[in-house]
Chain A
Amino acid sequence: MSHNSENPTFKSYNRDPGLYDEIFDENDNVRETYKTLFDLYSEHSAKDFGRLNDKAKASFFNQGITFQVYGDHEIKEKIFPFDLFPRIIDAEEWEVIEKGVLQRSIALNAFLWDLYHDKNIIKEGIVPLDLISSSVNYLDQMNGFDPPGGIYNHISGTDLIKHSDGRYYVLEDNIRCPSGVSYVVCNRTALKRALFGVFNHYQAYTVTNYAENLLEMLQSVKPKGVDIPNCVVITPGIYNSAYYEHSYLAKAMGVELVEGRDLFVENDFVYMKTINGPVKVDVIYRRIDDQFIDPLEFKPDSSLGVPGLMASYKKGNVCLVNAPGTGVADDKAIYTYMPQIIKYYLEEEPILNNVPTYHCSRPDELKYVLENVANLVIKPVDEAGGYGISIGNRLSPEEIEEVKKTIQESPRKYIAQPIMSLSVHPTYIEDSECFEPRHVDLRTFTLLGSDKNFVLKGGLTRVALKKGNLIVNSSQGGGSKDTWVLKKNQ
């Protein structure tokens, strides 16, 4: 199928009828939401897009909005490729997403509280005990502790996809240190600069209010007795792949960006070393993993954290965001219990769908998985960043045998899901100098405060730039798109 007649930059846009296309319907007509945008883009030539694309790339590079890729020998600085065709989500569709991701975040928070207190969901047999007791991310130190404001997962990143049935499915919940929100803002800025003309025709929500909401949330979980809390962002340092984001968030909130060595603990209070001497710190948005935050309590050789931090936290003198120990609930095996978890704590039906999942830890499901590797995606339970994923229909018979062997060695480590066909979206491809369909997902950002919740109206639409590729992570060569959430009554 070709759209050549309408738009030369779509000359090689071949719609795959087996996939959900975000802008063309099954009759190859442009969907209502995208009509204006499509017409506006038709006024530009392929050359224009090439030039805009180069400019956008240069702008990201010069601003140092980059991440590091760790190769065998060297660290490379790369930009997170930005695509010129924005993702549009209309008001109705968004309403469901927003309610759905908030529901999940709230349910996960209740789940965490329960796991670190009475464990009722386990006692009632809804979530198996094995899942918790075999999780390396469960922190004994958090047992029986009440985090300030009762919040564990202050910040959640929920990954969604649209399947060929046109419905959204949640792929995973990230509640340790979800990243990517800085790119949401950068993408918006870049698109506005490149194609400001198109913005006047749509009423999209702003995304720059994330930082102010984040700050408000951090302030809301201040320790008792503190009037105006001193909030900081703690980063592993300039060589961390998400350092740009850490510095962006600190700057946008107007708070200090600290490293472990900038902080110390005295009499269970946390201080930062400033040019005018020690200044007390009340709330820490930490972008360091649990195991590294306090060498006295966790990995003793970690120099990223602050010795004594955990004791200050447990004494209620400082708040850590997200709380330590949240990792136990964003485990991919826990994910599969999300519908039950939501029902148990909220007495509501889940608003967003879960992808059906097979646990290799269960003998009959393991059997099914081993027999059907070719039709499944096999995922390690505890890896992030798209590492270790095998997609069944891309594997050779030898590779399938290899995967089967790996699973059998440690079944608890793997889950399997049907191969979800991520929806496709027109994406500018440098080699062919025109738009082609590529797979996309969506990461949303949710904040839980002690008195207010917030879902960023927008998100990070990640796109797999390689043809047919389903893995959209930046470390695997993915790019991203500006994402517009439309206001009502358009």
Chain B
Amino acid sequence: MLARVANNLFWMGRYIERSEHIARYLNVNYFASLDAPNELSQSRQFVLQSMLFMADDFIRTEDSLEEEEVLYDIALNSEKTYSIINYVKLARENANSARDLISTELYESINKFYHFVLNYPVDNFKKRGLYDFTVQVAENVSILRGKIRGTLLHDEVYAIIMLGVNIERATQIIRIINAKFKDAVIAQGSYGDTLKNSYEWTTLLKCAESYDMMRRFYRQTPTSLTTLEFLILNTDCPRSVINSLNQVCKHIMVLSQDKHPKKNSSAFLIGKVRAKYQFKIIEEIESDLETFIQNILDDLNSIGLKLQNEYFHY
């Protein structure tokens, strides 16, 4: 497979995955905030800040934000690099370059997704389309996941897409944790919310589509500890960071033929990073979440760079 096309497949996977997490973040936060138990969590400014923080590289502004503008920017403003529409465009552009390698079915679904987002009426979105739009984005991405799994040969092409998907998923889950953690820190104290038992943890789980399963697993109201444990370390949770790392490990083995990967290879680095998080304990993570977040984002980033240099160099 061409190195350039491998790069396209990798990023196609990443952008597809990314668009869904952002859509879900918008959806869950917006609607959870409407009837949140405390005033701050209900505040428009609070939730809009949180959305921008998550979507646009962890920046919080002091300015007062305009709801329609923020929602439009994150969802449909193609001039914003962090918008969903932009990610979907990029996903399709990457799919275009790899068009001869992916199935007609997958391409057709990506293309439909693209036209759906491109033609979504902006006015309608600003006034009443948020729920509909974000749900449809998530649905479309589900369809794409199905087409990726169900219509492609599970060979190198599939492995590279899945590397992109899983690295992105781990990254986005961490970003969501980071954003909600900041929210929880800000919200603590109002109406008796403590950091450990913040309402924001429930929202966080919902943002990761993991609330129901988490309740089933722990049978108790989410706390900071259980939420983080579930989303980071639970190997059975399909959205957990460790699960994504396990997937990355599995898929790199399709590309790397070596039984004992070389020290400077991607396969070696991925194995090393996985091992590092495999035996972490949650109390340790929780005690300094900020450092943990920074470290794991760095680790994921260096995996991406390593792959780039080893396989996608053209």
Contacts and interface: CB of A to CB of B under 8 A. Distances in A.
The answer on direct contact between A and B (beta carbons under 8 Å) is yes
Contacts of B312: 275
A272 B93 contact: no
Contacts of B5: 256-257, 262
A43 to B, nearest CB: 31
A273 interface: yes
Contacts of A248: 100
Interface in A245-275: 247-248, 250-251, 256-259, 261-262, 272-275
B93 A238 contact: yes
Majority SS at the chain A contact face: mixed
Given A61-B115, A64-B111, A238-B93, A273 B4 contact: yes
Contact of A251 (B2, B99, B111): B99
Contact of A262 (B2, B115, B156): B2
Contacts of A274: 1-3
B111 A258 contact: no
Nearest to A237: B97
A62 interface: yes
Interface string A49-64: 0000000000001111
B137 interface: no
B108 A261 contact: no
A63 B3 contact: no
A272 to B, nearest CB: 6
Chain B interface residue count: which class?
Answer: 20 to 34
B223 interface: no
A243 interface: yes
A115 to B, nearest CB: 35
A63 B93 CA distance: 14
Nearest to A59: B108
Nearest to A238: B96
A247 B99 contact: yes
Contacts of A272: 2
Contacts of B53: none
B7 to A, nearest CB: 9
Contacts of A257: 5, 99-100
Contacts of B160: 275
Given A64-B107, A275-B312, A258 B97 contact: no
B149 interface: no
B115 A243 contact: no
B255 interface: yes
A257 B2 CA distance: 9
B112 interface: yes
Contacts of A64: 96, 99, 107-108, 111
B2 A62 contact: no
Nearest to B3: A273
Interface in A261-297: 261-262, 272-275
Nearest to B307: A275
User: Which of A64, A237, A256, A262 is packed against the most chain B CB atoms within 10 Å?
Assistant: A64
B23 interface: no
B279 interface: no
Contact of A275 (B99, B107, B115, B255): B255
B6 interface: yes
Given A262-B3, A272-B2, A275-B1, A62 B314 contact: no
Contacts of B6: 275
Contact of B2 (A61, A237, A247, A258): A258
Contacts of B100: 247-248, 250-251, 256-257
Contacts of A251: 99-101
Interface in A16-65: 61-64
A259 B3 CA distance: 11
A259 B99 CA distance: 13
A63 B100 CA distance: 13
Nearest to B7: A275
Contacts of B313: 273
Interface string B98-124: 011100100110011001000000000
B72 interface: no
Interface string B235-259: 0000000000000000000010000
Interface in B271-314: 311-314
B4 A238 contact: no
Interface in A225-252: 237-238, 243, 247-248, 250-251
B311 A275 contact: yes
A244 B96 CA distance: 9
Contacts of B112: 62
A247 B2 CA distance: 14
Given A250-B100, A273-B314, A261 B107 contact: no
A247 B93 CA distance: 13
A253 to B, nearest CB: 9
Contacts of B156: 275
Contact of A273 (B2, B93, B104): B2
A262 B314 contact: yes
User: Which of B93, B112, B255 is packed against the most chain A CB atoms within 10 Å?
Assistant: B112
B156 to A, nearest CB: 7
A259 B255 CA distance: 23
Contacts of B99: 64, 247, 251, 257
Given A250-B100, A256-B2, A257-B5, 11 more contacts: A62-B112, A63-B107, A64-B107, A238-B97, A247-B100, A248-B100, A259-B4, A261-B4, A261-B314, A273-B2, A273-B313
29 contacts: A61-B115, A62-B108, A62-B111, A62-B115, A64-B96, A64-B107, A64-B111, A238-B97, A243-B96, A248-B100, A251-B99, A251-B100, A256-B1, A256-B2, A256-B5, A256-B100, A257-B99, A257-B100, A258-B2, A261-B4, A261-B314, A273-B313, A273-B314, A274-B1, A274-B3, A275-B6, A275-B156, A275-B160, A275-B312
Give me the 6 closest cross-chain CB pairs, A-B, nearest first.
Answer: A251-B100, A250-B100, A247-B99, A238-B96, A275-B311, A257-B100
